Amino acid sequence: MRRRSVGVRLAVLAVALLAGQLLAQSQRLPNAAGSVKFAVIGDNGTGDRPQYDVGAQMARARASFPFDTVLMLGDNMYGSQEPADFVKKFEQPYKTLLMAGVQFFATLGNHDNQLNRYYKPFNMTGARYYTFAKKNVRFFVLDSDSLDPRQMAWLEEVLKSSTDEWKICYFHHPLYSDGGTHGSAVELRVVLEPLFIRYGVAVVFSGHEHFYERLTPQKGIYYFIEGAGGQLRRGDIVRSEFKAAGFDQDQSFMLVEISGADLYFQTISRAGLTVDSGSIHRGGPGL
């Protein structure tokens, strides 16, 4: 009787694991030819097992969803940041992706050495803040550790001059957050949000909070937090009117696809489970 009970449990576990793998492979994105495809990770550089697991899931996802870009939302490296750490905390966990030619574009978090902006695979070309484009999408990468007048003037200029269909901003500290530990960076919000609204920024990604959260659109802008690429603060999401979806039980990463006026996203946990997904139509309601 007891032996049978153990057997049943093992069978249930095996089915659950198999289901997890199948779910990870069940893409919820259109995967259209010619679309912009990228992944998003944040607060990842621990060098610990969970970071490696997320890296493996990203590589698995790429087999069916061939993204060529990864946005890094800061805290790309924790603790010691010597040359050996770049191998342990970046090059090894994402080895498969790097070997496949996937490009990583980083922003700096409060735990990052500011000199890491010169590390070639982060593609920051030595700048604390910069911009780059992929087809009809322009990304604006900010340094939210210290938003000085020069950076603000630069941001306004590049936002104003951009004629790209999609404008996406990303930086480390979230303007809206339901995190019990940090919460919203209200002071940053007060200075950044008016520019985002004025110049038509559609989507903002941030990290810092060690979980995944999708906020209800704020003044027409979609805000995502993805700060669980290696770190995790289990149970830290406090329910509020901002929260549309959240996941603080395991590490995670995001997959995003932009096709014409539509943006599709899927958030996948370290175990391979899809924890959130949806779409945004630019200039109209989505999700």
Partner 1 sequence: MSVLTAVHRAFRWGIDHYLALPLGVIAALVWVQAGAERYFRFSHAASFVVNEVGMALFLAVMTKEVVEALSAGGALHSWRHRSMAIVAGVGGMIGASLAYLAYLHTGDELSVLHPGWPVACAIDLAFCYFVAKGIFGRHPAVSFALLLAIVTDILEFLIVALRYPVADVHATGVLLMAAAILVAIALRKSRVRRAWPYIAVAGGLSWVALFWAGLHPAFALVPVVPLLPHAPHDPGFLAEPPPDAHDPLNEFERTWKYPVHVVIFLFGLVNAGVPLQGWGTGSWAVLTAALAGRPSGILLAVAAGLAAGLHLPARIGWRDVVVIAFTASIGFAFSLLVATQAFGIGPVLIEVTIGALLSLCGAVVALVLAALLRVGKFAPSHISHVAHGSA
Q: Which residues bind partner 1 (CB under 8 A)?
A: 77-81, 108, 110-115, 144-151, 173, 181-191
Phi, psi angle pair for 216, to nearest 5°: -65, 145
151 vs 279, beta carbon nearer partner 1: 151
Taking the complex as a whole, how short is the minimal distance between the CB of residue 122 and partner 1, in angstroms?
14
188 vs 258, beta carbon nearer partner 1: 188
9 vs 150, beta carbon nearer partner 1: 150
Q: How far apart are CA 157 and CA 234, in angstroms?
A: 39
Taking the complex as a whole, how short is the minimal distance between the CB of residue 280 and partner 1, in angstroms?
25
Total number of residues shown for the chain: 287
- Angle, helices 49-64 vs 2-25, to 10°: value is 60
Taking the complex as a whole, how short is the minimal distance between the CB of residue 34 and partner 1, in angstroms?
38
Taking the complex as a whole, how short is the minimal distance between the CB of residue 203 and partner 1, in angstroms?
21
Taking the complex as a whole, how short is the minimal distance between the CB of residue 19 and partner 1, in angstroms?
39
Task: Give yes or no for a contact between 166 and 135, defined as CB atoms under 8 angstroms apart.
Answer: no
Which residue matches tokens 């550089």? 45
DSSP summary character for residue 116: G
Q: How far apart are CA 189 and CA 174, in angstroms?
A: 8
Taking the complex as a whole, how short is the minimal distance between the CB of residue 44 and partner 1, in angstroms?
14
To which H or E segment does residue 150 belong?
Answer: helix 149-161
52 vs 171, beta carbon nearer partner 1: 171
Taking the complex as a whole, how short is the minimal distance between the CB of residue 3 and partner 1, in angstroms?
51
129 vs 264, beta carbon nearer partner 1: 129
179 vs 272, beta carbon nearer partner 1: 179
Q: Tokens at residue 205, please?
A: 């990604």
Q: How far apart are CA 232 and CA 86, in angstroms?
A: 21
With 0-12 / 13-18 / 19 or more C-beta atoms within 10 angstroms meaning exposed / middle / buried, residue 56 is: middle
Which residue matches tokens 């027409």? 220
Taking the complex as a whole, how short is the minimal distance between the CB of residue 198 and partner 1, in angstroms?
16
Q: How far apart are CA 61 and CA 191, in angstroms?
A: 37
From the CB of residue 153, how many other CB atoms can be counted at a distance below 10 Å? Answer: 10
DSSP letters spanning 218-276? BTTBEEEEE--SS---TT-BPP-TTEEEEE-SS-EEEEEEEETTEEEEEEEETTS-EEE
25 vs 80, beta carbon nearer partner 1: 80
26 vs 80, beta carbon nearer partner 1: 80
